[in-house]
Structure 1
C-alpha cells in the first residue's frame, strides 16, 4: 500500500472514530449538522452575528438546541421562559462553571467569576462583604460616583464643544469608581499606564468574541504553539496581570493590618487568617484574579451602558428632553443626584433600564455547567454539559416586550407613570453563579 492509500485509510478511520465518539446522546437537544473534528465552530456565534444566528437556530430547533465545539457538546437556551427555567427554577442544576481553555490560561479556575465549589463560595462571600464595607461603610460608593462624575464633567467641558471620542474618558471614569474601592485610589484621565491597561482589556474582550479566537477552545494545546489573535488576547492579559501585580506588591510593602485602606488590604489580612484553610484559596495568585474579575466586571458593562446612553439620547432628543426636565424638577442645579432620588425619577430610571435592554451588552451569558443530569425543555442535559443562555433573546422576547425592537422606556412604566420592574430584564444573567457584573452594575 502506497503513502496516498495509507493517508486515505487513516483519514477515513479518523472520520469514523469522530462520528462514533460524537454521536448525539439519546434525547439530547437537537442542533445543526457538525463538521467532523471541528464541529460547529463556523456557525457564527460571535459578537457580530450572535443575535441573527441565535434566532435562526431557535426557530429551527426550538428554545433549547445544541452545538459542538470540536468534540465538546454545548447546549444553548433561548427565550425568557426557558432561560428562567434554567437560571432560576433549576439554578441548583446549573451552578458551576465549565473550563473554557481561552480564559483558563489567565483565570485558572480561581477568583470569583470562573471558580467553583468551596473556593468560589469563600471568595464570593468575602468580596460581597468587603466591597460592601468599603463601598458603603467608610465612604459610600455613591460618594465615589459623585466625585468621579465631577471629574468626568470637567473632562467633557475641556473638549470645548468640539467633536471627540468619549470612549476611554468614560471607561477611565467608571473604572476609577471600582479602583477607589479595590486600590484605594483613582487614576488621572491622562495616566497613560492606566489608559493602556484599559485599552488592552477592551481589546481582549473584543477578541474573545471573534470566531478565530474561539477556535482556541477546540485545540488549545496545538494553538498554543501557533500565531494568531488568541496570542494577542493572552499577551494582553499577561500585561494587565503585571500591572495588577505591581499594585498588590505596593500594598504589601505599605500594609498595616490595623488600618486597612481598601479591598486589597483586607484580602491580605484574610490570607493571614486562612493559612490553615488552603482550599479557600486566599493567596496572592487568587487575589490577582479576584482583582481582575472586579475591575473587568465593574468597568466594561457600566462604561458600555453609558456610551449606549449617549447614542440613544442623541437619536431620541424628545426622550432626552423629558429626562432632563425630570432631573431639573427633582434635583435642580444646586446639588448632585443621589440614590435617594431614584424613587422620584421614574422616567429616568425607565430610560436607563431601556438603554440596558436595547444595548444588549451581554448577548450570551458566560457558560454554566450541569452539576447533575437535568431535564430542560423535555431534553436530557447530562451532568458536565456546558450550557449557555442567550440573554439577548430574553431582552428582545416578543412575548415579554410590547415593542421589543424599538427604544421604548414605557416598557418599564406602569399606567400611572411609575417605574415597574420586569422579570424579563436580565442584562447580566441570573441565578447563584451570576457574574460580578450583576454585583454592582444595576
Structure 2
C-alpha cells in the first residue's frame, strides 16, 4: 500500500532528513582540525548564503574572510574550498596523488550508471544500483578504472594526431567548410552557436567515428543539442538541489530530469554506433578510437580484468563529445564576441596574421612567430573562464595547509580565483592581452594560467584544444572581420552553465577580400 497524501509524504521526507542530519553529526570526530567556514544550518547547511546560479562568486567572497582554504556545508555534505593560484596549484601539483579522486555526485551517478546500464523500470518504478568500482568513462571515474581509461584515451588521441600534423590537416579541412558557411550569410547577422559546435564536434567525430557530419544533418544537430543542453543544465540551481537532496528531488520535476532523459538518448545513439562498429570491425584495419577499444576488448577476454567494457566505451565517447566539443566551441564563441567588443585588438591580430602568414594556410609552428595573437588567445581563455570550478576528492587522509582532510573529502577548486588572481594578473577583471606580453611585445608565460587545471586530472585533450583554438581563430580573423549587428549592445558577462558560455548574441562576419587585405597592409 502506497502513501499518497502529499502532507504525509513531506513530513516523512523531513523526518528522514532530520535523522540523516543527526547521523551525519555523529561523524564530527572525523572533522577535527577541519578548515574553518560559515556556521551551517540544520539540513540545508550553508545553502541559504550561496548564489545558486553562480556559487563560485559566493565562495570567492567567503575566501576573503576565511582564507584560501575553508569549508562550507551543502545540505549534510561538508566540502573544502580552495582559492587562489598558490593554494590550487599546491593541491593539484604538489599533492597530486592525494587530491586525485572525484567526489560522488548524485547527478553523475544517474547519468553514468543509472540511465545507461544499471537502471530498469518496473511498473513505473525505477531502481538504481550504484557501485563506485564500476563508475565508467574518464571524467568522473574512480580508482584503477579511471587510470586505465585515461591512459587509453590520451594514448589513442595522441596516436590519432593530437599535437601532430594529421590533426592539423583535419582542422584546416573542417575550417574550409566552416568558412563557406560563414560566407553564406553575406555579412548579415547570424547566431553562431550551432555552427561553431558543429565544426569543433566534427574534429572529434573524425577521430571517434571516422567521419564528419554535415552541419544540417538532423541526427548531428540533435546530438549537439543534447550535449550542449546538458552542459548548460548541469550548472542550474535545480541540479545543485538534486545533488544535495537526491531522494527528495527525484520525486520533483526540473532540469535534473531533463539531463537524465538527454543522457539516455545520447547513450542510445552511442550504443547503436558501437554495435555497428562491432559488426564492421577488422582487427587488421584499425580506423577509429572505437576500433582500437574493441580490439582491446577482444584481447582482454584472455585476462581477468573488465576495463574494456561497452559501458566504459560508451562513457568515454560521451565524455569526449561533451568535453571535446563544448569547451572549445564555447571558447571560440567568446573569442569572436571579444573581437567584436574590442575592434582595435582584432585589427592588431589581423595585422600580425598578414605580416607572418599573409594569405597562406596557418600552421601551429606559426604561433611562435605571432606573440600578439598568442597572447590574445591566452587572454580569451583566461577572461572567458569557461570552467569556473572543478570538483576533486581526497584519495587518502591528508594534512594540507595545516588542516586535516579525511579520505573522501569533497574538494571544490575555484579556477576563477586562479585565472583572476590579483597577484598574477594586473587587470584581472578586464580583457587585457598584455597579461601575456612583456614591454617589448614578446609573449611571456604566466604561471597562473591554468584553464586546463593541472595534475593527474588535468584536461586530457589540452594539446588538441590548443591546436584547434589557434587554427580556427587565426583563419577566421584572416578571412573575416567580425562586427556587432547594427544597434546591438555587446554583453560580455557570462551566461549560467556548468561550462559558462557568452550571453546569446548574433555576429556579422564580413569577408576580407585579397584586395582589402592588400590595401589595409599598405595603409
Per the shorter chain, which TM-score range? over 0.9
Q: Which residue of 2 aligns with 1:408?
A: 432
**Change in CA separation of 1:277 and 1:113 when aligned onto 2, cut-off 3 Å:** farther
**Change in CA separation of 1:336 and 1:28 when aligned onto 2, cut-off 3 Å:** same
**Change in CA separation of 1:22 and 1:212 when aligned onto 2, cut-off 3 Å:** farther
Distance in 2, Cα, partners of 1:401 & 1:50: 23
Check the 8 A contact 1:28/1:380 in 2, yes or no.
Answer: yes
1:387 alignment partner, SS class: strand
Task: Determine which of 377, 382, 400 is the counterpart of 1:376.
Answer: 400
Deviations along 1:216-239, one digit per CA (max 9) or x if unpaired, are: 122323433432221101111111
Distance in 2, Cα, partners of 1:15 & 1:118: 31
Deviation at 1:359, TM superposition (A): 0.1
2:305 alignment partner, SS class: helix
1:304 alignment partner, SS class: helix
Q: Which residue of 2 aligns with 1:85?
A: 90
Q: Which residue of 1 aligns with 2:40?
A: 34
1:394 aligns with 2:418: yes
1:234 aligns with 2:260: yes
Q: Which residue of 1 aligns with 2:147?
A: 121
Check the 8 A contact 2:382/2:419 in 1, yes or no.
Answer: yes
> Structure 1 residues 430-439 or 67-76, which shifts more?
430-439
> Structure 1 residues 387-396 or 197-206, which shifts more?
197-206
Deviations along 1:321-352, one digit per CA (max 9) or x if unpaired, are: 1100111111111x211111111111101100
Name structure 1 gaps, 5 residues minimum: none
Deviation at 1:310, TM superposition (A): 0.8
1:352 aligns with 2:358: no
Check the 8 A contact 1:429/1:438 in 2, yes or no.
Answer: no
Q: Which residue of 2 aligns with 1:105?
A: 110
The within-5 A match list for 1:154-303 is 154-277=180-303, 279=305, 281-303=307-329
Deviations along 1:303-336, one digit per CA (max 9) or x if unpaired, are: 0100000111011111101100111111111x21
Distance in 1, Cα, partners of 2:89 & 2:290: 35
Deviations along 1:124-147, one digit per CA (max 9) or x if unpaired, are: 111111111122599711011101
1:389 alignment partner, SS class: strand
Check the 8 A contact 1:113/1:436 in 2, yes or no.
Answer: no
Check the 8 A contact 1:298/1:436 in 2, yes or no.
Answer: no
2:338 alignment partner, SS class: helix
1:68 alignment partner, SS class: strand
2:408 alignment partner, SS class: coil
2:456 alignment partner, SS class: coil
Aligned residues: 434
2:308 alignment partner, SS class: coil
2:399 alignment partner, SS class: strand
Considering only aligned residues, what root-mean-square deviation do their CA atoms show, in Å? 2.4
Displaced runs of 4+ in structure 1, greater than 4 A? Answer: 10-16, 136-139
Q: Which residue of 2 aligns with 1:69?
A: 74
**Change in CA separation of 1:19 and 1:373 when aligned onto 2, cut-off 3 Å:** closer
Distance in 1, Cα, partners of 2:72 & 2:373: 40
Name structure 2 gaps, 5 residues minimum: 1-7, 114-134, 467-523
1:417 aligns with 2:417: no
Length-normalised TM-score, structure 1: 0.92
